[in-house]
Amino acid sequence: MRVDLSLWADFPLYLCCWIFPASMLLGRAVGAQPPRNWIDGALLLWGAVAVGCLLLRRLPRAEERRLFLRTALCFGLCGLVAFRFAWPVGLPGFNSVAWAMELKPLLYVLAAVGGMAAFGVPSAARFRKCGAGLALLVLAEFCVTWFLTGQVERPVGSGEINYDGMLMVICLCFGLGREHRGFLRLMALGILVTFSRTSVLAATGVLICFGPYGVVRKVCLLFLGLAGVWLSFQVRGLLGALEALDRFWMWHTAGEFVLSAPWQAVAGFWPGSELPFGVPAPLSFLWSAQARQWGLAGVHPFNLHAFWLRMGATWGLIAAGLLAAGLLAAVLAAGAAGWLLCVPSRGMGRAGRALRALCLLCLVGGLTMGLVYCNNLGVVLISAFFAARRFSLREPRFRGRYLQMSLNVIQEDYAR
């Protein structure tokens, strides 16, 4: 009997799109709210099991060499990243909590790569179905709340509805074909009722640039997206309240620092070190609450929330600028997108839109959200880029062939 372990490739999608938000909704309903960070433990455990399975493999020599080279390359790159994180440990002003906050993307990359090497890359169809399931969950909460209170209220979802909206945008990138319009409309409606400005703008940009629509419909989508952003301000009571736009003030504070100390901004700061930022009045309450929660003093990169701000603070403006330029080039040119993930030009057809749409999502979403720093977005977003590459090549679902071959050999030995 063959043991198919490729189903475990979809575990992060099921966990982040279905299990995690459903558990948080159920916890709120019964008055026993679980901690949000339990999903971190589940994802890291999944990655650790995957890496352990790879270490216990029995493979033909050619497959073993290829796996060794790929694994060595991945862990070599991660080692370079880890060196930057290990260097400041023990230096004056070092804070272990702030340091661990910036280490999260590295752990998510290791978990995602290990899981995909062992179990396989999730299929594009799985992204569509999980995104549609999350949209149904958010729409159900919105309708039930509306029915019970008689008012239009913002859903809560997993506790961070902005992240749920961005999850649906990630899944929407795999439903841009004409044959997937049902999934696309359902996810678009789910994104709209999250009242997340960033998610609505990202989804609008993806649909206008890569959606299966004509010019007239794309113009209508533009006005619909702008109306969704206005509705978000209206429902959340933020119209005319500039002091309530925390992301604006974070960018404003970072911009003031860049103008005052450009060379330091270019080099970045060691992970775990305090940022010499002033605290504007609109952010004083938010940052003070976060400081009390984590027992920290001062401003650290995780206080900035946005991916581009955090990356610029940790890696410097040059690294952040190069990454942004690469993503923008991939959005503007199919050839650049193919070069970015080693996809030949013949594979950049309809499915290549998924790859470019993900790049656009990172550019827009990173302005206000942490993306790979977020516990229910990081692993899914990393997996999405690998899935988009295989989707672009029109390959069948990539199964965890290394572990599968190993199990088959073990079973054959046992049978004999």
Report pLDDT digits (tens) over 66-87: 666 666 666 667 666 766 676 6
- Which two tokens mark 380? 């899914």
Mean per-residue pLDDT over the chain, rounded: 82
The answer to whether 117 touches 50, Cβ cutoff 8 Å, is yes
Whole-model pTM over 0.75 = yes
* pLDDT for 279 beyond 50: yes
* pLDDT for 41 beyond 60: yes
What CA–CA distance (Å, rounded) separates 104 from 109?
9
* pLDDT for 393 beyond 50: no
What CA–CA distance (Å, rounded) separates 18 from 352?
27
* pLDDT for 269 beyond 90: no
Q: How confident is the model over 235-263, as pLDDT tens digits?
A: 877 766 667 788 999 999 999 999 998 88
Of the given ranges (61-75, 94-108, 268-282), which has the lowest mean pLDDT?
Answer: 61-75
Classify residue 110 as left (phi > 0), alpha (psi -120 to 50) or beta: alpha
Residue whose structure tokens are 């940790």: 314
Whole-number pLDDT of residue 376: 92
User: Which residues make Cβ contacts (< 8 Å) with residue 105, sequence separation at least 6?
Assistant: 372, 373, 378
Whole-number pLDDT of residue 53: 79
Q: How confident is the model over 139-148, as pLDDT tens digits?
A: 999 999 999 9
Please compute, for residue 394, the number of CA atoms within 13 A of its CA located in the half-sphere on the CB side. 8
Q: How confident is the model at residue 309 (pLDDT cuts 50, 70, 90)?
A: very high
Whole-number pLDDT of residue 404: 45
* pLDDT for 314 beyond 60: yes
Whole-number pLDDT of residue 210: 86
- Which two tokens mark 408? 């088959």
Of the given ranges (90-104, 115-129, 176-190, 375-389), which has the lowest mean pLDDT?
Answer: 90-104
Of the given ranges (40-44, 97-101, 186-190, 206-210), which has the lowest mean pLDDT?
Answer: 97-101
The answer to whether 367 touches 311, Cβ cutoff 8 Å, is no
Q: How confident is the model at residue 399 (pLDDT cuts 50, 70, 90)?
A: very low
The answer to whether 403 touches 118, Cβ cutoff 8 Å, is yes
Whole-number pLDDT of residue 128: 94
Whole-number pLDDT of residue 68: 60
Whole-number pLDDT of residue 351: 54
Of the given ranges (104-108, 204-208, 356-360, 380-384), which has the lowest mean pLDDT?
Answer: 104-108
Query: Quick one: CA torsion of 111, 114, 117, 119, rounded to 10 degrees?
Result: -60
* pLDDT for 405 beyond 50: no
* pLDDT for 2 beyond 80: no
What CA–CA distance (Å, rounded) separates 163 from 336?
28
Q: How confident is the model at residue 412 (pLDDT cuts 50, 70, 90)?
A: very low
